[in-house]
Each structure stands twice: as C-alpha cells, then as structure tokens.
Amino acid sequence: MTTDTLTLTLNNGIAIPALGYGVFQTPPAETVDAVGEALRVGYRHIDTAAAYGNEREVGQAIRESGTPRDELFIETKVWISDYGYDETLHAFDKSAGKLGVDRLDLFILHQALPSAFDRTLDAYRALETLYAEGRVRAIGVSNFMPEHVTRLLDTATVVPAVNQLEIHPYFPQRELVTFDAGHGILNQAWSPIGGITFYREGGGGSTLEDPTIRTIAEAHGKSPAQVMLRWHIQQGRSAIPKSVKPERIAENFDIFDFELSSHDLARIDALDQGVRRGPEPTAITLEAFGREIPEA
Ligand code: NDP
C-alpha cells in the first residue's frame, strides 16, 4: 500500500489525512494523554467538537506534542445552540480559543436544525465568511440528509467539503454517500468501527463481533476494527475512530500494510441492516438537544 492512500483531497484542493482520531466521549481528564498518544503513534488529523467539552485538552495535547501546526489537520464542530450568523462567528472564537489556534483546518456544522433551518443557513453563511477570511481552510457539515444538503446548496456559495455521518458496516447509508459524492462532498465516517452498535443499548449486535468481519480479519491476520477501517479507506472515505486505550489507538492506525479484496469489500457491504443507531437527523431540535457552549 502506498502512502497515497493516507491523504484525500477536499473539493477545494486541501489535503486531509483520510484516517483521523476522534474524541467524542473522551473525558477531558483523559483527553491530553489520549490525544498525545494518538499524535505519538502518527495520527495527524484530530476530530473534536464544541459539544464534546474537550477542545481545550485537545489543544493542550497538540501543544505538548510539539507537532508542527502545519503537519496537523484540526477539525471541530459548531453546536446547534450556537447557530445563527453572529453566534457562529463567535463559536469560531470559542473553539479556536480553546484549541489555542488561529486557524482551523475544517469547521463543520454538527447537525442540521430542521425546525429552524434558517438558523442553520445563517450558521453556514458564517462558515463561508470564516472561510473567505482564511480563518478556516475548509468548511462542511455533519449528519446532513440529502434534503438538508439540497436546501443548503440553494443558497450556499461554498459547497461543503465534508459531510460527517454515521457510517459503519451495519449502516453504510449508501444512497446518501452516493448523493454526497455526486456533489463533490467527502463522506467522513463517524462510529467507523461501529462504536454506536456496542457502546449503546439496542438490537442488531456489535460490528466487532460480526462473524463475517471476524472471518475476514482472521484471514488477513488483522483485527475486526482494522478490517472496518480498511473498508472505509479503500472505498474513499475518511474515518475517525476513537479510543482512549494506547494499544487500540495504535491498532486503529496500523491499517496500511494490508488490502481487502473486492470480495471482502462486497461481503462487508452486504452486512447493511438499514437501521440508524444515532439520533434521527430530522428530529434534532434546540429544545431537546440545545446546551450552552462555554466561552473560551
Ligand atoms: P468508534 O466506531 O470510533 O468506536 C469507539 C468505541 O470503540 C469506543 O467504545 C472504544 O472504546 C472502542 N474501540 C476503539 N478501538 C477499538 C478496537 N480496536 N477494538 C475494540 N474496541 C475499540 O465510535 P465513535 O462513536 O466514538 O466515533 C468515532 C468518532 O466520530 C468520535 O470520537 C467523534 O469524533 C465522531 N463522532 C461524530 C458524531 C457526529 O454526530 N458528527 C457522532 C459520534 C461520533 P475505548 O475508548 O475504551 O477503546
């Protein structure tokens, strides 16, 4: 496998390491060590969010690692409570301030707010301003369904570079992925190894225990998590696995020395259960999900 597979190019020409490291549910007290370990192992793309409450610790880990800023790709997300033009401009100040950086590599809207879509559009307009001013190198969205992308594109002047979505073998959202690709929007998989299938109660089983994935993993002398990450990378997606455990942080990065066959990929594709595990994107409201994001 060549190192070419490590980097993808966004629709504005910016390079993004395909494999990133996520920190959702990483407690602030563990974040400095976990992100520090990820950077030591070789990850150069970190995905956080204002709503995760650990941007400050991500920033601390980055500084303490000594990794040159221009070798890093820092991605964070605006929470829905900060939607609106002025509010989202201020959300940038909050996130950048906590992270301790002047510029973000990728700044995305965490969710569409269907019941207040005008606020979503105003928030995106703020991202366009930040992009025009060079304070963010790319902008995008998360959990946007085709109708949300379509409505956004009606007024947007900048096509989102990324749509970050629940994508794992049990819920590959193939139609949405194809829709995004048709608009030049890179799909980025959250819960890429199916975390949400095993850290949350619910039917359908755990992707890590899946017999097909385990069989493929054994055949390659790799783990189920590594097989799922390869599946994403070989299908051209970005993926951002999370772990706080050093051995898993390293394991999830060690995926560039093997290749799944087209038969392997097809067998994983066939595992689609068509059932979303995360929140229903069309049902996100400020009343149910709003929360105050502290100042930097
Ligand atoms: P993941 O698919 O990354 O799975 C994480 C879970 O798997 C954790 O419980 C982790 O536990 C465990 N784990 C990690 N590596 C391994 C391994 N090699 N073997 C066995 N278990 C493992 O799910 P996430 O939901 O965390 O998604 C990843 C990232 O995506 C988030 O951190 C966040 O950045 C982003 N995200 C974005 C969302 C959005 O709405 N935009 C929603 C959810 C996530 P442990 O830490 O104990 O190792």
Ligand 1 pocket, mutate which of 37, 47, 170, 190 (most atoms under 8 A from CB): 190
pLDDT score for 203: 81
Ligand 1 pocket, mutate which of 74, 187, 188, 242 (most atoms under 8 A from CB): 242
Q: Rounded CA gap, 176 and 186, in Å?
A: 11
pLDDT score for 6: 87
How many angstroms separate the alpha carbon of residue 192 from the centre of ligand 1? 7
pLDDT score for 4: 45
How many angstroms separate the alpha carbon of residue 157 from the centre of ligand 1? 33
How many angstroms separate the alpha carbon of residue 122 from the centre of ligand 1? 30
Give a three-class secondary structure readout of 128-144.
Answer: HHHHHCCCECCEEEECC
pLDDT score for 195: 98
Among positive and negative, which fits the CA dihedral 160, 161, 167, 173?
positive
Domains in the chain with CATH codes: 7-289 (3.20.20.100)
Q: Residue 237 to residues 65, 205, 234, 290: CA-CA distances in angstroms?
A: 27, 24, 8, 29
- DSSP category for residue 192: T
What does the pLDDT look like over 266-288, one tens digit per residue?
Answer: 999 999 999 999 999 999 999 99
How many angstroms separate the alpha carbon of residue 153 from the centre of ligand 1? 30
Residue bearing tokens 């995360």: 278
**199 noted as active-site residue:** no
Which ligand 1 atom sits closest to the C-alpha of 208? 20
**Which member of 21, 43, 52, 170 is catalytic?**
52
pLDDT score for 201: 75
Which ligand 1 atom sits closest to the C-alpha of 248? 18
Q: Which of 219, 220, 193 is nearest to 206 (CA)?
A: 193
Q: Rounded CA gap, 130 and 139, in Å?
A: 9
Position 151, amino acid? R
pLDDT score for 3: 42
Residue bearing tokens 């030591």: 40
Where would I find the beta strands (DSSP E) of 18-160?
21-22, 45-47, 73-78, 106-109, 139-142
CA Rg value for the chain:
18
73 bridge partner residues: 45
Which ligand 1 atom sits closest to the C-alpha of 168? 2
How many angstroms separate the alpha carbon of residue 47 from the centre of ligand 1? 11
Q: Is the distance from CB of 140 to CB of 108 less than 8 angstroms?
A: yes
Q: Whose CA is nearest to atom 12 of ligand 1?
A: 243
pTM flag (> 0.95): yes
- Using left for φ > 0, alpha for ψ between -120 and 50, and beta otherwise, residue 5 falls in alpha
Q: Rounded CA gap, 141 and 139, in Å?
A: 7
Ligand 1 pocket, mutate which of 45, 170, 193, 207 (most atoms under 8 A from CB): 193
In the predicted model, residues of the chain with pLDDT beneath 70 are: 1-5
Residues with CB under 6 A from ligand 1: 22-24, 47, 110, 142-143, 164, 190-196, 199, 208, 223, 225, 240-245, 248, 251-252, 278
Position 281, amino acid? P
Distance of CA 15 to the CA centre of its chain: 15
Which ligand 1 atom sits closest to the C-alpha of 243? 46
238 bridge partner residues: 188
Q: What angle do CA 85, 106, 31 make, to 5 degrees?
A: 105
- DSSP category for residue 152: H
Kindly report the number of other CB atoms within 10 A of residue 192's CB atom. 28
Q: Rounded CA gap, 179 and 149, in Å?
A: 9
Q: Whose CA is nearest to atom 6 of ligand 1?
A: 195
